[in-house]
């Protein structure tokens, strides 16, 4: 977190900031839509299940929304299911640490998508709609909010949840849940245009390199 010290005091994100964010998200979504479609087809072929999954998350000011991702977890032993475009899944507990070898990820293709955050690309649509932003605290479940955030929850929910944030460029999966929470709270308390742009700038090489991601 030290590399981000000295940044000006926090400001409330204004409409102009989020409008620019939505325009950038729309351009990225249009550019990456073919890749999302190809990955969805490959995922359906390998898993024989819905290529997209939706998780219930708490958005800005406590608004609930369903967050889309490309599926990366399936078992080869499971029989094929009736395939719909999206499968809605219930809230699941989040581990304190992310193991480098999750037994639920059985496909090399899925591991590749997770390493380079390709599975997160559908969330650009949420940024276009204004439910998420390119940079902000990661969207969490109601259970996480109640269990781990306490009084800091209202501060985190002041911002739109982001596709990327501080912990995604400062350690990603090797960080503990406590460390990730601290960085999300720091982002909420010290949000500025400069911090936004710096985090966005660092997100690009972090995603391309796939370092500390699994």
In a domain, 30, yes or no: yes
Domain that holds residue 177: 2-209
Pairing of strands 133-135, 162-164: parallel
Sign of CA dihedral 160, 86, 32, 110: positive
Domain count, the chain: 1
CA distance 214 to 206: 13
CA distance 163 to 112: 18
Q: Write down the H helix ranges in the chain.
A: 15-47, 108-115, 124-129, 142-144, 153-156, 166-169, 177-189, 193-209
In a domain, 214, yes or no: no
Inter-residue contact 7 to 192 (CB < 8 Å): yes
The Cβ of residue 136 has, within 10 Å, a number of other Cβ atoms equal to 28
5-30: pLDDT as tens digits: 443 334 456 667 788 899 999 999 99
Inter-residue contact 79 to 49 (CB < 8 Å): no
| Helix/strand/coil for 61 | helix
**R_g of the chain computed on alpha carbons:** 17
Inter-residue contact 119 to 213 (CB < 8 Å): no
CA distance 140 to 122: 17
What per-residue confidence (pLDDT) applies to 7? 39
pLDDT values of the chain reduced to their tens digit, one per residue, 214 residues: 444 444 333 445 666 778 889 999 999 999 999 999 999 999 999 999 999 999 999 999 999 999 999 999 987 777 666 678 999 987 776 766 565 667 778 899 999 999 999 999 999 999 999 999 999 999 999 999 998 998 899 999 999 999 999 999 999 888 999 999 999 999 999 998 889 999 999 999 998 888 777 5
């Amino acid at each position: 977190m030290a590399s981000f010290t000295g940044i000006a005091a926090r400001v409330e994100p204004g409409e102009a900031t989020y409008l620019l964010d939505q325009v950038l998200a729309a351009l990225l979504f249009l550019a990456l839509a073919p890749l999302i479609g190809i990955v969805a087809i490959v995922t359906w072929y390998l898993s024989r299940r819905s290529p997209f999954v939706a998780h219930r998350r708490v958005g800005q000011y406590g608004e609930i929304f369903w967050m889309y991702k490309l599926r990366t977890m399936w078992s080869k032993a499971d029989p094929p299911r009736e395939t719909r475009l999206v499968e809605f899944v219930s809230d699941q507990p989040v581990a304190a640490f992310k193991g480098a070898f999750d037994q639920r990820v059985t496909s090399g293709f899925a591991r590749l998508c997770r390493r380079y955050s390709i599975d997160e690309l559908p969330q650009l649509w949420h940024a276009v709609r204004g439910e998420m932003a390119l940079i902000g605290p990661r969207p969490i479940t109601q259970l996480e909010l109640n269990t781990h955030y306490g009084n800091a929850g209202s501060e985190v929910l002041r911002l739109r949840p982001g596709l990327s944030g501080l912990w995604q460029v400062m350690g990603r999966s090797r960080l503990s849940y406590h460390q990730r929470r601290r960085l999300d709270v720091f982002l909420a308390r010290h949000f500025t245009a400069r911090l936004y742009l710096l985090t966005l700038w660092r997100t690009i090489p972090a995603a391309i390199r796939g370092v500390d991601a699994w």
